[in-house]
Amino acid sequence: MSTNVSTRPAPISATERAARLDGLRRQMDGAGVDAVLLGSTTSLRYFTGVSWHASERFCGAIVHGDRIEYVAPGFELAKVSSLLGVSGEVLTWEEDENPYRLIAGRLRANAKLGLDDQIALFMYHRLRAEMGDERLTDAGALINTLRRQKSPAEIALMQRAKDITLEVHRRAWKQLRAGQLASEVTRFIDAEHRALGGNGNTFCIVSFGEDTSLPHGGETDRALRQGDVVLIDTGTQIDGYNSDITRTYVFGEPTADVRAVWTAEKEAQAAAFAAAKLGAPCESADNAARAVLERRGYGPDYRLPGLPHRTGHGIGLDVHEAPNLCRGDVTPLAVGMCFSNEPMVVIPGRFGVRHEDHFYMTENGPRWFTEPAASIDDPFANAPAFAA
């Protein structure tokens, strides 16, 4: 039985954010980039602690080699100033002013500006009009190099989020009843996420019967029937860090063919975990999962019946982050990287099975955040008691 249950950990410290900025500046120096512009993205939160919803109004920060400057709408000055996790001057622009001209004016002549890869295309075009293509470059690789290897503090926050979601899954399983609508289960899961200290559902897929053969669920609000395969994929956040867990089981007695697919999926998930070795390319885990399924007659490649998508994705402040456990991703696995492990098996028009748990890389190899489902009859038999 897992003993990974955690209590709520401390938020990311100012010291850690300062170290992140130092790391970014080293990346900037190596790439010949004079400053990096962060938009209203998770990277802004990662480096500065400021969480801001993206809109048509620019709000973000300029990371210089020796300082950080924030850029915000004038009427948001008080709010933005209250959110700063790293000190810096807040530059403001009014509704009839051009924030991109303000940004350009904070750089020396001919300075190279790296752009947060999550900012909107229209923002790039506005900057391009002020600075020209030759002064703009993609800072995505500089940022991801830092973000993809999580610190112990980040892992602790994700551990708490995942512990909460696993307990919510267990509670959802126990309360299922015939005739219950998928939307009712979604509302139950949201309420339980909040009750246990999460921020509600960041997303929630509840699928019954044939809808489970659609990886991201169907569009109808199905009622649960005896014998239906049930697939629930959901997550929450703790201080911005995400959980994302899927469980598949049957409401009633599983048929022999459903049991066979469930078992094949579990074997593929275990193979992906075993293949995740330090220094190995990310694609190794995907290759291992597909090899198991192909031996059982599924696929090959992305063909159905079989596995229609990648085996896993990175996770952190975004539910999906690079790198990925996917063919063609040769990023070497390194300490601190965190991934979903979810090789799905789809039987078109009938049902699908997805087991999804996450692991993180340690100096001794991969370690589960949550243990995989115990069995199709009692998927939560190995779930630890939840610590409130």
Domain boundary among 122, 147, 172: 147
The C-alpha atoms of residue 297 and residue 133 are separated, in whole angstroms, by 51
Is there a single domain that holds both residue 140 and residue 156? no
What is the total count of domains within the chain? 2
Task: Round the CA-based radius of gyration of the chain to a whole number and report it.
Answer: 23
Examine the domain organization and report whether 40 and 172 are in the same domain: no
Q: Are 356 and 341 in contact (CB under 8 A)?
A: yes
What pLDDT score was predicted for residue 347? Answer: 98
| Angle of CA points 170, 176, 180, to nearest 5° | 140
In a domain, 384, yes or no: no
- CA gap 47, 38 in Å, rounded: 9
Are the CB atoms for 225 and 178 separated by under 8 Å? yes
Is residue 21 domain-shared with residue 112, that is, in the same domain?
A: yes
Domain-located, residue 374: no
- Its domain, for residue 127, covers 14-147
147, 172, 193 — which closes off a domain?
147
Structural domain includes residue 6 = no
- Residue of 368, 355, 357 lying closest to 243 (CA atoms): 357
Residue 230 is assigned to a structural domain of this protein: yes
- Assess whether 211 and 307 both reside in one domain: yes
Q: Are residues 54 and 28 both part of a single domain?
A: yes
Task: Give the model's pLDDT for residue 6.
Answer: 55
Mark whether 278 and 198 lie in a shared domain: yes
pTM over 0.85: yes
Whole-angstrom distance, CA of residue 25 vs CA of residue 36: 9
The verdict on residue 382 lying in a domain is: no
In eight-state DSSP terms, residue 215 is T
**Does a structural domain hold residue 8?**
no
Instruction: Report cis status (omega within 30 of 0) of the bond before 332.
Output: no
How far apart CA 111 and CA 35 sit, in angstroms, is 8
- CB burial of 322-349 (b: ≥16 within 10 Å; e: otherwise) equals bbbbbbebebebeeebbbbbbbbbbbee
C-alpha span between 192 and 201 (Å, rounded): 9
Last-in-domain residue among 120, 147, 174: 147
Nearest residue to 181 via CA among 228, 222, 128: 222
H/E stretch holding 146 reads: helix 140-147
CB atoms within 10 A of CB 294: 16
Judged on CB neighbours under 10 Å (0-12, 13-18, 19+), 53 is exposed
Same domain, 172 and 122: no
Residue 243 lies in a domain: yes
| pLDDT for residue 1 | 33
Whether residue 258 is found in the same domain as residue 309: yes
Predicted local confidence at residue 4, as pLDDT: 44
Q: Which element (helix H / strand E) includes 366? A: strand 365-368
Same-domain pairing of 291 and 278: yes
Say whether both 355 and 222 belong to one domain. Answer: yes
302: which 2 tokens?
């992305």
Same domain? 159 vs 46? no
- Is residue 94 within 8 Å of residue 77, measured between CB atoms? no
36-46: string of b/e by CB count within 10 Å (b at 16+)? Answer: bbbbbbbbbbb
State the CATH number of the domain containing residue 259. Answer: 3.90.230.10
Residue 272: per-residue pLDDT:
99
Q: How far is CA 137 from each of CA 28, 100, 141, 142, rounded to the nearest angstrom?
A: 11, 15, 11, 11
Asked whether residue 266 falls in the same domain as residue 344, the answer is yes
**pLDDT 10s digit of each residue in the chain, 388 long?**
333 445 789 999 999 999 999 999 999 999 999 999 999 999 999 999 999 999 999 999 999 999 999 999 999 999 999 999 999 999 999 999 999 999 999 999 999 999 999 999 999 999 999 999 999 999 999 999 999 999 999 999 999 999 999 999 999 999 999 999 999 999 999 999 999 999 999 999 999 999 999 999 999 999 999 999 999 999 999 999 999 999 999 999 999 999 999 999 999 999 999 999 999 999 999 999 999 999 999 999 999 999 999 999 999 999 999 999 999 999 999 999 999 999 999 999 999 999 999 999 999 999 999 999 999 999 999 999 998 7
* Residue 388 is assigned to a structural domain of this protein: no
